[in-house]
Every structure is written in C-alpha cells, then in structure tokens.
A and B are shown apart, each in its own frame.
Chain A
Amino acid sequence: MRVLLCSVLMWFSLLASAETAPVSDQLEQLKQQVIQLNRELFLLEEELLFPPQTQLAVFLSADTGQFFQLDSVELILNDKPVGAHLYTAQQWDALKRGAIQPLYKGNVKAGEHNLTAVFVGKGPDNRDYRRAVNYRFAKADDAVLLELQINDRSSDYQPDFVVQPWSND
C-alpha cells in the first residue's frame, strides 16, 4: 500500500515537473530514463545470472572476409552443443565492417573446459568450407571472455580461425 502511494505521488510529481517542459523535452527525458533502466537491468543481470566466477562469454569477429564468407557457426562446450547462429548478409556485412558479435554467454564450473567452434561457409573460389577450432581453458574466479576471429591469411590465401582470450586489464 505504501509503495503504491509513493508510486502515485512520484507519478504525479513526474507529471507536474513534466508539464512545465516542452513535449519534445519531456519525451527525451522519458527516453533517457528508459535507457538508464535498461542499463541498470543489464548490470544486475550480469551480477546475478552471469557472475565472473562462472561466466563464459564468446564473441565473434571477422577480417575483411576476403577468403571466407560465414554462413553459420556452432559452439560446442565439453562435447555438448551450447549455441549456433545463422548469418544474414546484413550480419556478415557488419562483421566485415569491424563489428564484434556477442555470440554466447553462459555459466561454467571452475576447472578445465574444452570449447569447439565449427565454422561453415564459403571458402576461396566459392567452395563449401567447414572448419573447427578447439580451445582448452581453465575457469577460475575471473570471467572467461573469448573472441573467435576469422582472419584472412594472405600467405596462402586461406581463412584462419583463431580463439583469442580477452584480457580483463
């Protein structure tokens, strides 16, 4: 009841202060509040659902995509599939322009783990291309952040798939 009363009072005070400003400014203030609310919610989600002690996050980035065009990627953690993504032309274009895709976020126990990423797409000469890359890591107290990188290897005109851990520094 008390919360409801406070809410009603705050609501009226919000309205009262809002009435004095132009509508566009009021709308902008509301939008800013929504942004702040979203941000706080995200931080709380990180703290509660993915604490650093158990967090594993996987990202994906690409070079200019000269020797490989990504169709899909599958993630396998300790022999169990945990995620997969099919790429649209727009998404692949974003990656080629330097964007990093947040691909997977989950929780793992402390100890040794094995991550496998399977890349499927078109390789040089537009041929079907499938390549897997393995990465072993030890989970401790810090969050594990891994970036799957698709690089262009100009030495033999082939794509190169790398798992790069992020430093928290």
Chain B
Amino acid sequence: MLLLLPLLVQAAASAQAAATPATIAEKHYRQAAWAFYLQQPAQALETLQLAPQHDARTRLLEAGLYLQLSMPQHAIALIDTLLSDTAASPGALPQALKNVALLQFARYQLEQGNKTPARDYLKQVQITDDNAWLGQQLLLEQLINWPDITLPPAPEFERLRHQPEMPYIISNQALVLAQTDHSDTALDWLAQIRQQLKTSEGQGFWQLLFSGQWHLLSEPDGFIYPSAEHEALSDYVALTQAQLHIQRQEFAAADAILSNFAADSVLNRNALQLYSHILTEQRHVPALLAVLQQQIRLQPFSHTAWLAATRIGEQLERVLQVDDALGAYRWADQYYVQQAQQMQQQARPVEVGQLQQGLSAWQQLQISNDSQLFHLQQDILSVQQHLTAAAQRQLRLAQLQDVTNLKLTQQRQLLSSRLPQLRQQRDALQQQFSQLQQQISAAEQQPMPLSLWQGKPYQQLQRLDRAEQRLAVLQQHQQPLQNYPQRLNRLRGLLQWQYSNSAAERRWQRQKQLQQTAGVLEQLELQMAALARQGNKTERLQQVQQRLTQLSNHQQQLNLALLSKQQQLLAELNQQLQQRLQQQLATLNDLQRHNKESMARVMERVLLSSGTDNSGAGL
C-alpha cells in the first residue's frame, strides 16, 4: 500500500554508497529491523532499546513494536511524546511518518471502542501534498462518524485514484446515499467502482509494523496477495449492489448478481444469506432449498444454519408439500438435538495447550467470531510464549551464575596466591637491582675497581692483583724480589691506561644495561598493576553474582505472576464460552420449540387430510 519502505531502503543504500560512517545507533536500528522482519518483535525491541542513541524514528519503531507485543499503553506514551515534538524541533518526525502513527493509533482506539481519542488522533493528521495516507484518513473518518459521513456531490475517483481504500470509501458513501433515499445514485456509484478497481500495491514497512499483519510478511515476493484482495473487493462491491437491489425490491437484478457469486469467495456466507432472502421472496423453492442446505453445511453451529433448518420445512409447507414438510421438520428437530449435543460435547473447558491447535470446531468458531474472545485467546498465548521463554532464560541465568562463580574462584586464587607470589618476586628483583646500582656507584669511586672490569682485562687485573699479593707475602718473608715490583707497576700502569682509554665506552654500556633493566622492572610493575586491577573485579563480580540471584528470584516471581494471570484469563475465556453456550442453547431451544409447533401444525393437517380421505373412503 505504501512506498515508504523502499524509500527507507534506498536511503540506506545511498548512505552506504556515499561511504558515510554510519553510527552505532544506526547499526542497532538495522539489527532491530532484522529481528522485526523475522517476526521476532520482542527481540527487535530489545535490540532497539540497547542502542546508545534514540531518535524520533527509532522511537516510532519502538512504539510500533510495543503495539505488536500487545502493549498499547507503552506505545501510546511513546507516540504522544513523539507527536508533542514540534516539526521545527531538531530530529522531529517527518509529517509523513507522523501521519502513519496517527492513523494507526486512531484505528487502534476505534477498535477498542474509544471514538473520542480516535477522533483526536485523526484530527492531527495533516495530509501531505502527495496525498499519501488520504484514503486511510477518509476511511477512518467514515468509521468513526458512521453513519454521519461526508458525501461529495460525485464519487471522487480522481482524488482517490492512488488510494487502495477507494472502493471502501465510495461504497460506504453509496450505502449512506441508499439510506437517504438516493439508491439510484448509490447503484450508479457502485457500478463505477467496479470499473475503477485496480490491483493494489504492497504494504509499507510502517503500516505493517502497526497493523501487525505478520502472516503477510512471510511471502518472499511481497507483503500482500494483490489478486486475492482484488477479488475480495470486487465481491464486496457486488454484495453491496445486491443489497441495494434487494432494498429496492429489484430481486431479479440482485438474483443476477448473487447467482454468479464465486463459491470460494470470502464473502460467500453473506452472499448465501442474501440469496436465500431473494429466493424466499421470489418463491423459488427448489433453489431456496439448495441454498438452505448449503447454509446448513457451510455454517455449522450458526444461527443462520439453525434458521435454515426450520425454513426448509416452512418452504415445503408453503408449497403445500405437507408430507415433505413434516419430514423436513422432523429432520430439523433431530438436527437441533444433534447440534445441542455436539455443542455441549465441544464446549468442554479449554486448556492452554489447546488454544493453538486443539480447539473444537465450536470453540474455534466462537473465538473467530468474537473480538473479545479472540483478544483473550491472544493474551493467553502471548503469556504462554513468555512462560515458554522463561525456561530458556533460566538456563541463561544458570550459565551466567556458573561463569561468575568460576571467575570469582579465579579472582580469589589470583588474589590469595598468585599475586602475592609475583609481588614477592618483583620486590626481590627490585632489591637486587638497587643493590647493584649502589655497588656500581661505590666502585666508580675507586681508580680501577675490579668489579667494573670484564672479559680478558678482568682476568689480567685479577692475575695482577694476585701477583701483587704474592709479592707482598714474599716481602714479608724477606725473600729476594729482584725487579718484580717494577714489572708489576709497569703492568698496572699499562692496565690503568687501557682502563682509562675504554672507561667512557664501558660506562655508557653499563648505563644502557641499567636503563634496560629498569625498563624491564617498570614493565613488570605495569603488568602487576594490570593484574591487581583484574583482582579488583572481585567486588564487581560479587555484585553481578548478587544481581543474578535477584534476577533469578525476580524471574520466578514473574513466572508465578504470569501463570496466575494466564489462569485468570483462561477462566474468563471459559466463562465467556460457557455464557455463549447457554445463550446458543437457549436460542436453539426456542427454534426447536418453534419447529415442534410447526411440526405439530403440519402433522395436524396431515392427520386431518388423512382423516378426510379415510372418511371419504368410508363413504
């Protein structure tokens, strides 16, 4: 019906083509769309609500999802906020989208029987220059104000050319015209509608969102079945025409329409009813009997079928086929007894598990024909979905509790053993390092410290030191020293020269090594700090553990509340079904009594006529 979604998709595609960096909020929005298209409105809502930013468009989607989830209060609260934003305010909703929301909420209020708020929402609709949503607006206006609707001087085919609601709008106008003694004009308008009918376009994203027609989404080629809708529209107009002809006592014209009515039409039952009326008026008894039998066959447990049962006898009685009439009345009597028995059998209290598929034909019929019962059924099923999902949620909670416990154990281990051990090792390393630094600085004060030598010069110096010590011992024992002291002094001088010559380079290397070691120790310190931070998560994990316990309890309470609410709704559904059963049994009883009276009357006539025949024969 609307071209809004292709526009949105095009907008997204062009945004990608332009390679503009899309925000994370936009990504959340498109992930919500994924869940939405896969018919998971709860998942879509969750994704949308996790988005870091929300704009008017996401809030509109949120409102639509709330409506999908049968949460109208939340939807209305959101939509009212959105509508209160003036058009000039930054990020305000475009008028076209505002109109979608206003129209769908007006429809919702109307369906709830709240005409005043429906009218208020409708008043705020401002149709844009392209006339988008005009048809919806006019149709809703008609429904809210029925039968005081606006009547144009001529059907507005040109104005409503692109509006899928055109046939409904104009046929409604024709009906009002017929009620005000302008049935000629009405019939003329209806005839023109049939010529104007075109195949309708697919529904748009926003309309689907609010109308909740999920089943249409499952078609890969499009949102709706245009040909089926076309047929239904055509049949609707034809039926309205037939109705007007009947009002005008033009039974032949009505007959011409209805005798060719498609047997597989969704409006077949209404057509049969009108047709039986015409045939009764025209006294076409054989055809009428066929129609009445069709009604009985096609509409079990309905007032129409029950009435048809007794009417067969009436029609036969009318054409003076009293024996056949008596047989028909007897059959109707049996039929009523059977219907009552079947209804009582099929009206056993409903269980939740039966609501999806296990309902009896009678129960299914009651729920399909009554919006209150239907809503009750839907509410019970939606609660059941939550209850079914609760088991999965409980598993997720249990898994999270396990993970938290494991992490807490790891934390405790880290804090109690690993972290202190690592700290001890780090402290020991740092102590050794500072001692080494002190030793180096002390050695640097000496002219030629052995500790600062390394490699071959270190060995040479070590040997020289040993030789000097031996020389000192020899000196103490007054041994001849020859020229050893001079040679050793010369060697020391040589080593001193070598040491002085390479001192700068060795100092630089020493400083570099010290810096590297300091860097490694610093890195170790950082890693320790990171570990300590990990250790600090104990508190958060304990909070999470506590929260999970709370959530688990909350979930159990919710389950209890949901279960209780479901039982309450189920009791109400069963009570209402029982009320309907009693009402229908009473109706059936009245019809049966009426049928018995007719049967008695015919029997009397049969007896009288047979008595007359017998007396005649006797004479």
Contact = CB atoms under 8 A, between A and B. Distances in A.
Contacts of B383: 27, 30
A34 B558 contact: yes
A38 B393 contact: yes
Contacts of A1: none
Contact of A39 (B46, B72, B572): B46
Interface in B26-45: 27, 30-31, 33-34, 36-38, 42, 45
Contacts of B114: none
A97 interface: yes
A64 interface: yes
A48 B16 contact: no
Interface residues of B, number: 62
Interface string B363-400: 00000000000000001001100100100010011001
Name which of B34, B70, B382, B386 has the most chain A CB atoms within 10 A of its CB: B34
Interface string A3-37: 10011001100110010000111111011111101
A54 interface: no
Nearest to A96: B9
B554 A37 contact: yes
Given A23-B568, A98-B12, A35 B42 contact: yes
A27 to B, nearest CB: 6
A45 B564 CA distance: 29
B514 interface: no
Contacts of A15: 561, 564
Contacts of A30: 383, 386, 558, 561-562, 565
Contacts of B549: 3
A90 to B, nearest CB: 6
A85 to B, nearest CB: 12
A7 B16 CA distance: 51
A28 B5 contact: no
Interface in B430-478: none
A25 B558 contact: no
Given A31-B69, A64-B9, A7 B557 contact: yes
B477 to A, nearest CB: 70
B280 interface: no
Given A7-B557, A49-B403, A23 B37 contact: no
A10 to B, nearest CB: 6
A35 B400 CA distance: 18
Interface string B521-562: 000000000000000000000001001110101111110111
Given A27-B379, A39-B49, A168-B24, A97 B37 contact: yes
A97 B400 CA distance: 35
Contacts of A166: 24, 27
Interface stretch (A99-107, A123-131, A132-140): A99-107
Contacts of A42: 46, 50
A82 interface: no
A99 B44 CA distance: 11
A38 B561 contact: no
Given A32-B71, A98-B12, A44 B548 contact: yes
B584 interface: no
Nearest to A162: B16
Interface string A58-93: 010101100000000000000000000000011111
Contact of A100 (B9, B33, B565): B33
Contact of A97 (B33, B42, B74, B389): B33
Interface of A: 3, 6-7, 10-11, 14-15, 18, 23-28, 30-35, 37-45, 47-49, 59, 61, 63-64, 89-102, 147, 149, 151, 166-169
8 contacts: A27-B569, A31-B70, A39-B49, A40-B547, A41-B551, A100-B30, A101-B34, A149-B16
- The list of the 3 closest CB pairs from A to B, nearest first, reads A94-B37, A89-B220, A99-B34
Interface of B: 5, 8-9, 12-13, 16, 21, 24, 27, 30-31, 33-34, 36-38, 42, 45-46, 49-50, 69-74, 205, 217-218, 220, 379, 382-383, 386, 389, 393, 396-397, 400, 403-404, 407, 544, 547-549, 551, 553-558, 560-562, 564-565, 568-569, 572
Given A26-B565, A28-B73, A33-B558, 5 more contacts: A35-B49, A41-B393, A90-B217, A94-B33, A169-B24
